[in-house]
């Protein structure tokens, strides 16, 4: 399995942010990781990427335990956090060369990879600019490019299309779907239309627990929309924003 989580729990004081989560994601699957605000999505993703340590349970990426084999696990992951952290004073190409160098890439191999990834994510016309000069949509592309620079097996994307206009939404979704053809992708979002257009499976959590883990087709089998399914399962009527 590309991602494997068993009885994962994270406790802050007296509050359980996530409570005994268990799921597996095989290679090549694009999975929507859904839930209301505060459900535990970002906490789970931060544990998978090594930014947080679980209170109990286990998580592995590409066969590597994220706590015991953290460097091997991190090398297998491309991560785009919710608040895409970028160095705004750096030029696009400069930033991606810096990102690649963190994975021990250098010389001609690094320059070739940067050129390849710039082309793949549609940044060719913007690559000479400082990141601070770019629109939000293009900054998201830079974030995706840095997540992909080392050609990871697994992509973990936390709210990758938040705040984008309709054209940018369509372009970023198409890009995620394209790169997901030969990688495992788990992405969190509040946009149910996004789940239907990109994902083949959805894991829905509420109050730190899994309330559904099914294919999109199974979730909609009763003729309901994804918005209706989400609201019914989470009891939240104001979280599922349509795009």
Question: Domains plus CATH for the chain?
Answer: 1-76+156-165+183-243 (3.40.50.300)
Q: Which two tokens stand for residue 52?
A: 């947080």
Q: Are 157 and 191 in contact (CB under 8 A)?
A: no
Helix (H) or strand (E) holding 115: helix 107-120
Tell me which residue has tokens 């994601």: 25
Nearest to 67 by CA among 10, 121, 147: 10
Per-residue pLDDT of the chain (243 residues; tens, 9 = 90+): 789 999 999 999 888 999 999 999 998 899 999 999 889 998 999 999 998 999 999 999 999 999 999 999 999 999 998 888 899 999 999 999 999 999 999 999 999 999 999 998 989 999 999 999 999 889 999 999 999 999 999 999 998 887 788 888 888 888 888 888 889 999 998 888 888 889 999 999 999 999 999 999 898 887 778 888 888 888 853 444 444
| Distances in whole angstroms, Cα of residue 234 to Cα of each of 35, 66, 81, 240, 243 | 7, 29, 24, 10, 19
Q: Which two tokens stand for residue 177?
A: 């779907």
Q: Which two tokens stand for residue 223?
A: 């003729």
Q: What residues contact residue 117 under an 8 Å CB cut-off, 6+ apart?
A: 96, 145, 148, 149
């Amino acid at each position: 399995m590309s991602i494997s989580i068993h009885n994962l729990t994270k406790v802050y004081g007296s509050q359980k942010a996530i409570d005994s989560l268990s799921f597996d994601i095989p290679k090549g699957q694009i999975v929507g990781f859904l839930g209301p605000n505060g459900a535990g999505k970002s906490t789970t993703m931060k544990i998978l990427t090594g930014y947080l340590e679980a209170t109990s349970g286990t998580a592995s990426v590409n066969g590597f335990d994220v706590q015991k084999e953290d460097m091997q696990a991190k090398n297998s992951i491309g991560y785009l956090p919710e608040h895409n952290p970028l160095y705004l004073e750096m030029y696009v190409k400069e930033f991606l060369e810096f990102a690649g160098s963190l994975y021990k890439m250098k010389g001609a191999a690094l320059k070739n990879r940067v050129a390849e990834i710039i082309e793949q994510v549609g940044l060719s016309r913007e690559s000479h600019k400082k990141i601070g000069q770019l629109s939000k949509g293009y900054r998201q592309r830079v974030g995706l490019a840095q997540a992909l620079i080392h050609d990871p097996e697994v992509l973990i994307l936390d709210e990758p299309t938040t705040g984008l206009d309709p054209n940018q939404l369509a372009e970023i979704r198409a890009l995620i779907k394209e790169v997901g053809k030969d990688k495992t992708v788990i992405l969190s979002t509040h946009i149910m239309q996004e789940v239907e257009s990109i994902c083949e499976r959805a894991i829905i959590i509420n109050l730190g627990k899994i309330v559904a883990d099914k294919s999109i087709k199974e979730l909609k089998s009763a003729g309901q929309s994804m918005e209706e399914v989400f609201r019914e399962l989470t009891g939240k009527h104001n979280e599922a924003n349509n795009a």
